Amino acid sequence: MAQLNPKLNDPKAKKQVASAQRYIEQHVYVKDDSDEFFRKCYAFSILVRHDVMQYQHVPMKFRTAEVAYWGVQQDPYNLRNTPNESKTYDVCLAAVSKKGSMLQDVPKELIDEKMAWTAVENDQIGTAMYWIPELMRTPEMCDLAVKNAPRALATVPNKLRTSDLCLSAVQRDPNLMTAVYGKAKREWVMRNLTPQQQHEVQWRNDQRNRKGAYAPKPRVRK
């Protein structure tokens, strides 16, 4: 029997959970007609909602949109273990609201401006923009993406990679100088870095060149 969540202090919620637990245990081997199926789904949604049961322990056939919604509230990565037919707009929006990079698991037809903005606003690793159609990537969205995670610069269309945006990214991550295209733009960014930042960019560039120059040659079988 699943253990009650120690944070569950609401008497009404405790009663709901206890009832749902009993129902699942008593009907686990009962044939699932339509009514039985929906009763079980409702019971699972209560258990997942109150963190009494982890979403991954819910049988796949019971991971309906409602159960999935509470599953991604538990952990946004649960979207990856959700059947496609249960990935509704609300379920996907709930997932990207917690972790923007989960946009990669959202069906393409569900990605609209609201979904895209929500993903970028909650993306701390800079990958959400990869999954946003290029036509949706406005200058404002790109600015926010780089502000939240400098490495998002690599996902910004080249025509929107302004000198200021590149400078902002490189100041926080010197490795991103490789994502600054155009000699004039690179030189402008370098001039506007502090001496310490310039040194860091140059050192990293030298490291990359050195690795390339001294890379071991592949052995040839005789």
Domain ranges in the chain?
1-88, 99-160, 161-210
Q: With b meaning 16 or more CB within 10 Å and e meaning fewer, what string describes 178-197? A: ebbeeeeebeebbeebeeeb
Burial class (CB in 10 A: 0-12, 13-18, 19+), 5: middle
* pLDDT of the residue at 9: 60
Q: What is the mean pLDDT of residues 173-201?
A: 93
Weakest mean pLDDT among 5-19, 51-65, 100-114: 5-19
Which of 32-41, 54-63, 119-128, 167-176 is predicted least confidently? 32-41
Q: How many CB atoms lie within 10 A of CB 93?
A: 18
**Residue 79 · residue 92 · CB < 8 Å:** yes
Please, which pLDDT band fits residue 17 given cuts at 50, 70 and 90?
confident
Q: Read off the pLDDT band of 104 (50, 70, 90).
A: very high
Model pTM score: 0.78
CA angle 187, 188, 189 (to 5 degrees): 90
